[in-house]
Amino acid sequence: MGVIKNQVVCNLRSARTAKGLSQVELAARVGVKRQAVYDMETGRYVPNTTLALRIAKELSCKVENLFVLDEYEEEGPITLVDKAGLESTRVSVARVRERLIAYPLDGKWLLSEGFQAADGLLSPDCNHVQLLQSGGQLDKKVLLLGCDPAFTILGAHASRSSGGASVHCRFASSHLALERLAAGHAHLAGTHLHNAPSGESNVTVAQKVLAGSKAMVIAFSFFEEGLMVAPGNPHGIRTVADLAKEGTRFVNREPGAALRILLDERLAQAGIAGTHITGYDNQVSSHNLCAQLVAFNMADAALGLRAIATAHGLDFVVMEAVRCDLVIPCDLMDLPAVKVLLDVLQTRSLREELSSLPGYESACTGTVIGQV
């Protein structure tokens, strides 16, 4: 655990301007110089009790509305995941079983609309983190790894609930999400492996990867996955066999991704080797990157979801409809934020929004699939 630091946050400026007072006018009313008001508003000076009460009286508010004690955990030892090619000290932080788990917020994790706010800043040796929020806030946060883009919708619904839970979603393939869950680097993992004749693949693989650790498998969504192609499907792609057509450029997902596993199985059934497909070894790590390459005419087909294809204005060739499940270790089920998330899975509002996405269906949402 890190050292708890106290910092006084001053809301004087907003309260003063709401009353229509200048710094000079407020200073004259409470018997101080304008510089004192300026120093309070810039955090250079904390007034004594008497002066704070005078200011609150003049502004018709309470002292605690003007000066707030903000506690935050300054520093703590961390486990840094995904540190290869680290470009920034900004990290996302979650507390998993009393350990601080940090993931970088740089490169591919930046959003086109702006930067994602960090939870902390790394020390030069990358072994500690200076937290930018309180430990109490971290206790309300759960880290979910997976590749269903609708996980961010789940997070938004959880944040709106009365429990005040925060769900941080980070992209990872199904197998990678389970591996990091097993390592204690996340609270939940999302997996959408297509079912084999022998039974529930998500349950089977989770049981194998978690190696004896008990966990619940709960359904989240049901969506269509397949091939994203250029508008109008100019290459006439109808099945995976068409990817071997001369002149067709393909972009693949990395090994371990559920869609890559499905593709390889379909190619094997059709008797087509990956070497016969131009771009089979051209791998990217997300649905969005696949869609962008097709949208920018750098590929003719790529693996992805119908919802992602629609968002990028692409056509879509469905390969299979698959269920995405949440895998939650049993020892984390009683965390307040996890309980909020489980409650949210049962709400009509979440189900209706999921069903509004192209290719999605939510009748299964919140159903317990099994235990590993």
Residue pLDDT, tens place only, 5-47:
556 778 898 889 888 999 999 999 999 999 999 988 888 888 9
Task: Please give the mean pLDDT across all residues of the chain.
Answer: 88
How many CA atoms are closer than 13 Å to the CA of 286, on its beta-carbon side? Answer: 14
| Interatomic CA distance for residues 174 and 322, integer angstroms | 13
Determine the pLDDT at residue 98. Answer: 83
* Surface-to-core class of residue 130, CB atoms within 10 Å of its CB (0-12 exposed, 13-18 middle, 19+ buried): middle
Q: What mean pLDDT comes out for the span 206-212?
A: 92
Answer yes or no: is pLDDT of 110 > 80. no
Question: Above 90 in pLDDT, residue 197?
Answer: no
> Which residue would you say has higher pLDDT here, 163 or 354?
354
CB 204 within 8 A of CB 236: no
Rounded average pLDDT over 109-116? 53
Q: What SS3 class is residue 112?
A: coil
pLDDT at 113 over 60: no
pTM score: 0.73
CA neighbor of 257 nearest in space, from 159, 335, 157, 148: 148
Asked whether 367 and 218 are in contact (CB, 8 A), the reply is yes
The span from the CA of 135 to the CA of 58, in Å, is 35
pLDDT score at 114 = 57
Closest to 344 (Cα-Cα) out of 138, 159, 139, 141: 159
Q: Using CA atoms, how far apart are residues 366 and 328, in angstroms rounded to an integer? A: 12
Structural tokens at position 222: 């049901």
Distance CA 355, CA 353 (A): 5
Number of Cβ atoms within 10 Å of the Cβ of 112: 5
Helix, strand, coil shares of the chain, percent, nearest 5, are: 35, 30, 35
What integer pLDDT is reported at residue 7 of this predicted model?
66
pLDDT at 71: 55
Cα–chain center distance at 18:
37
Neighbouring C-beta atoms of residue 358, cutoff 10 Å: 14
